[in-house]
Amino acid sequence: MAHPAQLGFQDAASPIMEELLHLHDHAMMVIFLISMFVLYIITLMITTPLTHTGTMDAQAVETIWTILPAIILILIALPSLRILYLMDEINDPHLTIKTVGHQWYWSYEYTDYENLMFDAYMTQTLDLPHGTPRLLEVDHHMVVPTDSPTRMLISADDVLHSWTIPALGIKTDAIPGRLNQTTFTTSHPGLFYGQCSEICGSNHSFMPIVVESTTLDNFENWSSLQLES
Ligand SMILES: [Cu+2]
């Protein structure tokens, strides 16, 4: 999860997020080099007396500064498109979970099970167990088995919401009357926190999301307990 005064991203908890971080670092490297080059040219322009005031054209340098940016843009666009299509891929998911955004909580339905559904409300500050993050903890975690491709079906009941888990690289709008689909695979066990990312009303800040990734055994225990209760 995020920590105070954090500047970068959260640690990746899924292969897709790993890829996204690589793309971000790659693009940042390009931006850094271009910024440094431009800064160098600016200082040069300021500090050097203009000696070539009669120059009308310079075909060679113009060719270079047209083609080079085009190549740099392609070098960013290709890996970006690769991840875009990777994120769209639904590879035979082991589990399908439907989540619906409400003002102001999320409800979850495990559609592979007969009757496994629950609502997840934010835990109030006064009720927080010791050591759990304020405004991020919920009363029912969405439990998934680690390393299992999971399909999320996302919709909303009243207004626009957005189901978001930064560590998994997921942000999908929950739209009334529309079912959006996305997938993720958690790469290690843990708790992954997120918040609704669409301004949805007065309690928009108080409908967090918690994904709990755990072993398959734990997941089966949990699901049978849920079905009994
Ligand atoms: Cu919302």
Domain harbouring 128, CATH code = 2.60.40.420
Do residues 32 and 144 share a domain? no
CATH number for the domain that contains residue 29: 1.10.287.90
List residues bridging with 163 in a β-sheet: 172
- In this structure, the answer to whether residues 54 and 106 fall within a common structural domain is no
Q: Is the pLDDT of residue 49 over 90?
A: no
Is the pLDDT at 19 greater than 80? The verdict is: yes
CA of 167 to the centre of ligand 1 (A): 19
Say what the pLDDT of residue 53 is.
75
**pLDDT score of 169:** 94
Whether residue 106 sits in one domain with residue 60: no
Same domain for 166 and 192?
Answer: yes
Ligand 1 geometric centre to CA of 99 (Å): 12
Say how many domains are in the chain.
Answer: 2
- The average confidence (pLDDT) of the chain is 93
In sequence order, the 6+-apart residues with CB closer than 8 A to the CB of 126 are none
Note whether residue 6 is domain-resident. Answer: no
CA of 105 to the centre of ligand 1 (A): 8
Q: Note whether residue 75 is domain-resident.
A: yes
Is 195 a member of any domain?
A: yes
Which residue, 88, 104, 136, sits at the end of a domain? Answer: 88
Residue 76, classified by CB atoms within 10 Å of its CB into exposed (0-12), middle (13-18) or buried (19+), is middle
Q: What's the average model confidence in pLDDT over 190-197? A: 95
Q: How many residues does the chain have?
A: 229
- CA–centroid distance, residue 29 to ligand 1 (Å): 35
If asked whether residues 151 and 188 sit together in one domain, one would say yes
- Residue after which a domain boundary falls, among 88, 119, 139: 88
> What is the domain range of residue 45?
15-88
- Of the candidates 88, 116, 140, which is a domain's last residue? 88
150 and 207, same structural domain? yes
Same domain, 81 and 162: no
Instruction: Report if residue 10 sits inside a domain.
Output: no
Comparing 97 with 51, the larger pLDDT belongs to: 97
How many A from CA of 210 to the centre of ligand 1?
14
Same-domain check for residues 127 and 75: no
Tell me the three-class secondary structure of 7-72, residue by residue: CCCCCCCCHHHHHHHHHHHHHHHHHHHHHHHHHHHHHHHHHCCCCCCCCCCCHHHHHHHHHHHHHH
pLDDT tens-place string over residues 25-42? 999 999 999 999 999 999
Residue 184 Cα to ligand 1 midpoint, Å, equals 21
Distance from Cα 64 to the centre of ligand 1, integer Å:
49
pLDDT at position 58:
87
> Residues whose CB is under 5 A from ligand 1 (ion)?
161, 196, 200
Q: In terms of domains, do 157 and 190 share one?
A: yes
What are the tens digits of pLDDT across the range 106-162? 999 999 998 899 999 999 999 999 989 999 999 999 999 999 999 999 999 999 999
Q: How far does residue 24's CA lie from ligand 1's centre (Å)? A: 27
- Give residue 166 CA to ligand 1 midpoint distance, Å: 16
Asked whether the whole model's pTM tops 0.85, one would answer: yes
Q: How far is the CA of 203 from the centre of ligand 1 (A)?
A: 8
Are residues 131 and 110 part of one domain?
yes
Q: Is residue 2 domain-resident?
A: no
**Ligand 1 center to 103 CA (angstroms):** 7
Ligand 1 centre from 159 Cα, in Å?
8
82 shares its domain with 176: no
Residues facing residue 142 across a β-bridge:
211
Q: Do 81 and 99 share a structural domain?
A: no
According to the model, what pLDDT value does residue 39 have? 97
